[in-house]
Structure 1
């Protein structure tokens, strides 16, 4: 990455915090963004705090996708940013009204060369050393300020406390403490801002006015589990100048009643995705939640992973609960993405998907034990022709389901961009029958076929077909059966392929070389082949 002259100068400017009183008051608003990015990149939390406290624009967006070479802000800088937002509430130089942190918690994933990872690790170690120096400098500044504050209180009394606390240029705009100290500092400063008012009277009225008027809207992706549940509920119920808004809600191991409470507290505008994981909802619990979920008008994604939705006809009330579930799904007018993982609802796909008012663009159904009737319905449903992403991983395919899969691929041939059939039990014979349908998917960008029992000959046929697909960019292929140690069953399952050791005597790189030679002979240097299931990331295609 080649840095611009502005970026180079910005990094130099923020590198020395002692000079900030000299330059901060003269910085034009157009340079604040460059300086803030340089402060994040150089792990300069003091500079982050001073810039954010005086932020000259209405909106500050910190999260979201990163450009190549951009680093994710570390914890110290994020803490500095949040504390500066609180202190900026009383700073007339600050124009901030919307703080957008959406996407900030996303981990850097996907593939990357090992040299790049080592370089990043070295940069992170250097940043940690710089962070320690910043923390020590800030501690010294805080001790000095505390001494001055105590002297001011001793001399002037409580009536002049505010003036004794005044900051010089560039001093005390934001600092980084330990997490507990930071939380106490934030609460203390917010209480002081809410109670502070000229003169000695009207303190209660001032607090009520500040609580009723929102000064800064904070947009964020919220992750809630059993440990953070009380803190999140407190943040959503506390009135004050900061109002929390949620774009992406992910909950784990939370009861149905607590999820209901959380949905009642969230602002209804702006929520795009609800992701529920490892929560024992049951069919009845989900049917109870769906009317609340339907009250979020912009919601376009619903994800349910390992939520114990186990439909059994011999359980009393299951049929009625399933009807309620279907009616609840019918209310999700804006839904475009549905992800259902390991919910054990075989034979019920028609009940679930036929009730959705709009066709889906993304459908993920891994580990669902789909029946032939499920796949037959899906291939003829109103969703088939609009699907852009389809995941049928770990659903066993055979000769009886293959016609439905071929019909489904034909219906989605002009729209489907990402397809996963990993762990579906595809043998050389089944794959050979499926290859013409796969080759007809003209928009396909990524194809995942890991953990299928294919031989080297089957892999060669797969790569030759892939080379003829001009839009395909990523192919996740399985290790051929010849690469495993002896003793593997004739038709191994995906779990056996995952656990069975590879033969050390076999040159694994030889397989990759043979497959890549097919691509070179076909003139396809833009198609990436990998068998690395753990680091495969289809999102890198986009």
Structure 2
């Protein structure tokens, strides 16, 4: 009740920006967070900027995992946030030292005009460079002013020296030096003279004493000037690569750190450059998509990835990894690849999409030092030997999420899949077998193993050629699984237009039109009636393949 009242009052306070000068100076520090949350939810960018510029805490986290139905902050609010961080660098009321924006990005073009990952990355890099330029600009002005003053003093001394006039400054300095040395021993006098000469040299050094000695520069901590560390998830492609490189290379008041790095359509050398610039402790995941890596390129990157001690996620999607080609030195490259994977000590998630490695799954997974928790292998053309290895590997009993979509299954692979599900029955929470060619007969053999997965929360079986009868058996099994919350089922074959092959592929099921004369809602009503009769109304059933990931909220 109290929390709801605070949120209601905070929303009312930030709604009128004209009154902010009257209340902002009196706000206690514990109310800044609810006010900022209200400003984001009400889309009040001016209030966001004023609150962040005066932020009283050392850390500020904006982002993280959003609750179901909660939208990402608007683009204007995020821009106001970043501008306020730069302004706060010169505001004594701002105590901010750590800005955490991980998970802030939304879907481009989504509801409320959120800022996507690429746009947020570009904005962050611009903020870092602006903060550097803003900090250096007054230093350059002061340095130039001091240089002119020193030049004027030197010219005045030269004029006096040419006229034969005494230099009273030097004379007084010499008298002070002699007076300070009276009564000292010879060794102490020599040390005092050398010390005084060193002080005078530094005092009249170029740029008015702003340039210190080489030794002082070497002993200075390069990160001592950083005021705010900025953590974020970075999305880099060919268009933003140069901006990201400049921002990561910039030394200034803001230091950019990366939690998850996603790269698209850039070369191996560019990825290596980015990895070399990233701070080592912070990176926990890398996602490479649509980049021409090749097996040799991946083997080249893995030693660099091993230098990040917290890296636990590696995702490679459509990276031209082809293990089928018989190139000279292929076996040596595979050996290097296996050795590189063995160095990823903390890896818990491995995602490979469209990797051509029939019969080579053992090469990749056997070298990993610890069992995986998340394994995604869609579109890999896995062979019976691959399924057999996976069911007996050290990963089987620890898997929490498994995706074998678009790997066709038959009577030869089904025993291995059943053994795999039996091994993972105590840990598996999310399973996807979409597009695996499961017919009514194959699914009937697999249902007992699926029902034995005691903690399974979501099951995806889209684009499998099931009839309405097979679909009914699937739902009857699902209602007996107490942990299951989401089921993605395929449209039954009866809902398609005539002409579909007897054993259609997933691509044919995806492209083949549904029969408009058939009432599609009849299937949904039939399945929902099964749920109601069994008392499992909380089990979410859907055949919407495109929006399934958005509906799946753990």
Please name the residue that 2:77 is paired with. Answer: 77
The CA distance in 2 between the partners of 1:180 and 1:261, in whole Å, is: 16
Q: Deviations over 1:468-524 (max 9, x none)?
A: 111111110000000000000000000000000000011101001111111111111
Deviation at 1:368, TM superposition (A): 0.4
Please name the residue that 1:135 is paired with. Answer: none
Higher RCO (CA < 8 A, seq sep 6+): 1
- Asked which structure has the greater CA Rg, the reply is 2
**Aligned residue-pair number:** 480
Corresponding residue to 1:490 among 502, 505, 513: 502
The CA distance in 1 between the partners of 2:519 and 2:223, in whole Å, is: 67
Deviation at 1:255, TM superposition (A): 0.3
Q: Deviations over 1:137-158 (max 9, x none)?
A: xxxxxxxxxxxxxxxxxxxxxx
The CA distance in 2 between the partners of 1:436 and 1:179, in whole Å, is: 51
| 1:189 equivalenced with 2:189 (yes/no) | no
Q: 1:79 to 1:204 in 2, by over 3 A?
A: farther
The CA distance in 2 between the partners of 1:269 and 1:181, in whole Å, is: 23
Deviation at 1:530, TM superposition (A): 0.7
The CA distance in 2 between the partners of 1:180 and 1:327, in whole Å, is: 35
Q: Deviations over 1:152-173 (max 9, x none)?
A: xxxxxxxxxxxxxxxxxxxxxx
Deviation at 1:315, TM superposition (A): 1.4
| 1:264 equivalenced with 2:276 (yes/no) | yes
Q: 1:198 to 1:259 in 2, by over 3 A?
A: closer
What TM-score comes out, normalization by structure 1 length? Answer: 0.83
Please name the residue that 2:312 is paired with. Answer: 300
Q: Counterparts in 2 of 1:52-451, with a 5 A limit?
A: 52-67=52-67, 70-107=70-107, 124=112, 189-192=134-137, 195=140, 200-201=145-146, 205=210, 212-451=224-463
Task: Tell me if structure 1 keeps the 8 A contact 2:143–2:210.
Answer: no
The CA distance in 1 between the partners of 2:231 and 2:414, in whole Å, is: 45
The CA distance in 1 between the partners of 2:104 and 2:211, in whole Å, is: 34
Q: Deviations over 1:384-413 (max 9, x none)?
A: 000000000000000000000000000001
Between 206-215 and 473-482, the greater mean CA deviation after superposition = 206-215
Deviation at 1:461, TM superposition (A): 0.7
| 1:452 equivalenced with 2:464 (yes/no) | yes
Between 310-319 and 514-523, the greater mean CA deviation after superposition = 310-319
Deviation at 1:106, TM superposition (A): 3.7
Deviation at 1:71, TM superposition (A): 3.8
Q: 1:248 to 1:326 in 2, by over 3 A?
A: same
Q: 1:539 to 1:530 in 2, by over 3 A?
A: closer
Deviation at 1:70, TM superposition (A): 4.4
The CA distance in 2 between the partners of 1:83 and 1:194, in whole Å, is: 21
Please name the residue that 2:120 is paired with. Answer: none
Give the root-mean-square deviation of aligned CA atoms.
2.8
Q: 1:285 to 1:197 in 2, by over 3 A?
A: same
Q: 1:464 to 1:2 in 2, by over 3 A?
A: farther
* DSSP 3-state at the match of 1:404: helix
Q: Deviations over 1:34-75 (max 9, x none)?
A: 111122122222211111111000000001012456442211
The CA distance in 1 between the partners of 2:396 and 2:125, in whole Å, is: 52
Please name the residue that 1:26 is paired with. Answer: 26
Between 91-100 and 532-541, the greater mean CA deviation after superposition = 532-541
Deviation at 1:82, TM superposition (A): 1.1
Task: Tell me if structure 1 keeps the 8 A contact 2:131–2:254.
Answer: no
Q: 1:184 to 1:76 in 2, by over 3 A?
A: farther
Q: 1:181 to 1:347 in 2, by over 3 A?
A: closer
Structure 2, unaligned stretches of length 5 or more? 115-122, 147-206
Structure 1, unaligned stretches of length 5 or more? 110-119, 128-177
